[in-house]
Amino acid sequence: MIKEQKPTVFVVDDDAAVRDSLRLLLKSVGLPVEVFESGQDFLDADRDDRPGCLVLDIRMPGMSGLELQVKLNERHSILPIIFITGHGDVPMAVEAMQAGAVDFIQKPFRDQDLLDRINQALDKDAGSRRMLAERNMIRKRLESLTPREREVLDLVVAGKANKVIAGDLNLSQRTVEIHRARVMEKMEAHSLAHLVRMVLEVERPEA
């Protein structure tokens, strides 16, 4: 169960002034913020599974922004990343986007542009986390099914009628109906369509 936490904006920038000004800006709009001087500091702080988003300078001495992104991907972090880039960093920004960054913004930037991007990133993160939570919940419900119920579920999702399922599983039609009702109950499905959507949600390969 994921503990409910307030989303935080994490800032990683080697430039003290840029870092501090971002901290103050985010504070001024009431967003919780944590700042880090380097990619390594951020990794060491283990914040990558927290809700929020990451504002990351693309160019830093030592571990670059792109390298931190690779490391976070390796840790299966879903934290959305907004890259701060300079002039002429378009090729790097493209690379960052291909590696899953949500956005990038060029320095110097209008504060509202950054805040908008941050809000979008936070929405995306919340959505992702909701979806993740839902999937976990569906998985848990699926795990609560007996092997027979699971067999019935798979055939229901495959679109087979109770009579066909009874034949396939060598059961009476009545028994199938009872299993099916139990499945609907355990899966907390409102309808057959709802049940099918939940199963497809967890069984399609992760994006």
List residues binding another protein (CB under 8 A): 14-15, 17-18, 20-22, 24-25, 27-29, 59-64, 67, 86-88, 107-111
Distance CA 52, CA 121 (A): 8
Identify which of 60, 74, 54, 75 has the alpha carbon closest to the alpha carbon of residue 14.
Answer: 60
In this complex, which beta carbon is closest to another protein, that of residue 19 or of residue 179?
Answer: 19
Which ranges constitute the DSSP H helices of 57-191? 65-74, 90-98, 111-143, 147-157, 162-169, 173-186
Give CB contacts under 8 A, 24+ apart, made by 107-113. Answer: 107/18, 109/84, 111/25
Torsions phi, psi for 57 (to 5 deg): -70, 135
Q: CB of residue 142 vs another protein: minimum separation in angstroms?
A: 42
Identify which of 175, 196, 177, 174 has the alpha carbon closest to the alpha carbon of residue 187.
Answer: 196
Structure tokens at 103: 């956005």
Torsions phi, psi for 27 (to 5 deg): -60, -40
